[in-house]
Amino acid sequence: MSKLAVIALGGNALLRDNQSGTIDEQEQNTLETLENLVFLLKDGYNIVITHGNGPQVGNILMQNDAGESVYNIPQMPLDVCVALSQGSIGYMIERMMHMVLHKHNLPHEVVTLVTMAVVDNNDEAFKNPSKRVGKIYNEEQKNELTEKKGWIFKEEQKSQGGWRRVVPSPKPIAIMNEKVVETMARQGTIVIASGGGGIPVYIDEVGNVRPAEAVIDKDLASSLLASHIKADEFYILTDVPYIYLNYKKPDQQILEFLDRNDAQKYLDAGVFGEGSMAPKIRAAIQFIENGGQKSVITEATKLEDKKYGSKITMEYEDDRR
């Protein structure tokens, strides 16, 4: 049976920090990233692709705000904005993937699945919204939106000041249609799913699917999907080629091979930043603990060259490959 890999594309795989976010920029970045997945396909892997959506869904929220204030167009809720970003980003990845497949004469079909992620409506995260979304408002606007919409805000600590809306970030407990994802992927179709962590929903007391005004950590959702479809390997593509100790300090050290215990030890010690590497390490460990063979964290352009990338396994790999 062919190996199954889940590849989580980080934000840098779609949009660079120094770019304005035009579709031309995003398509070129996506094309360059997908080129680095060809070796997996040629090695006989079946693959599922997940992706982030932070900048894109933020822009959709700001477009919502502008449409309401200028043209009185009703704003769409957060779950619908996540769905919009999933569809548009999925379409872009799917189209660029077809171009890569054509270039390399590979026969795979590609499909995008707009995906819901189930959360527990009693998750503690709903009591402490912390994830900043959308634009920065002044205090008068913040007070008006709090009264009108019931939004919760936190003050920005950056130089420009102001206030941003915060929403909960609950832990995903299931990915809807994961059996469909696994079936298609094991048949050789490249599946794009669980974009942006998935559209957050919960199941109410009578079994109905209800939207949750929340956002879900994309790496945790990707790890959960990888575990539930029994993937062999889990790749997180980011903007650095390795996991590092003392990142960007004079004593910076590459961590190329980690077992589960050492990875957890560093995580518990607060070595990795919560806004950067820590969620990726957490997701990589979760995948290994749930039966996955190997998690790899690396830069998209370094993936094919196996001398790059930090590999996390349950125990140290004897062959160090």
Reported as a single tens digit per residue, the pLDDT across 9-51 is: 987 788 877 888 899 999 999 999 999 999 999 999 999 999 9
State which residues form the domain around 142. Answer: 129-167
Residue 25 placed within a domain: yes
Same structural domain, 236 and 306: yes
Same structural domain, 198 and 267: yes
Same structural domain, 95 and 133: no
Domain boundary among 139, 167, 195: 167
- Going by pLDDT thresholds of 50, 70 and 90, the confidence category of residue 315 is confident
Give the integer Cα–Cα distance in Å for 159 and 141: 19
The neighbour count for residue 190, using CB atoms within 10 Å, is 26
Q: Are 211 and 198 in contact (CB under 8 A)?
A: no
Same structural domain, 95 and 228: yes
Write out pLDDT tens, residues 96-140.
Answer: 999 999 999 999 999 999 999 999 999 999 999 999 998 899 999
Tokens of 50: 């997940």
- Give catalytic residues, as residue numbers: 11-12, 131, 218, 280
Same structural domain, 95 and 10: yes
Per-residue model confidence (pLDDT) at position 119: 98
Same structural domain, 273 and 148: no
Map residue 135 onto helix, strand or coil: strand
Residue 321 placed within a domain: no
Residue range 177-205: average pLDDT? 97
**What one-character DSSP code corresponds to residue 306?**
T
Element containing residue 277 per DSSP (H, E): none
The proportion of the chain whose per-residue pLDDT surpasses 70, expressed as a percent, equals 97
Same structural domain, 159 and 291: no
- Which residue has 């890569």 as its token pair? 100
Map residue 202 onto helix, strand or coil: strand
Residue 102 placed within a domain: yes
Residue 184 placed within a domain: yes
CATH number at residue 279: 3.40.1160.10
Tokens of 23: 């579709």
Residue 318 placed within a domain: no
**Positive or negative: CA dihedral 9, 237, 262, 290:** positive
Q: Domain tally for the chain?
A: 2
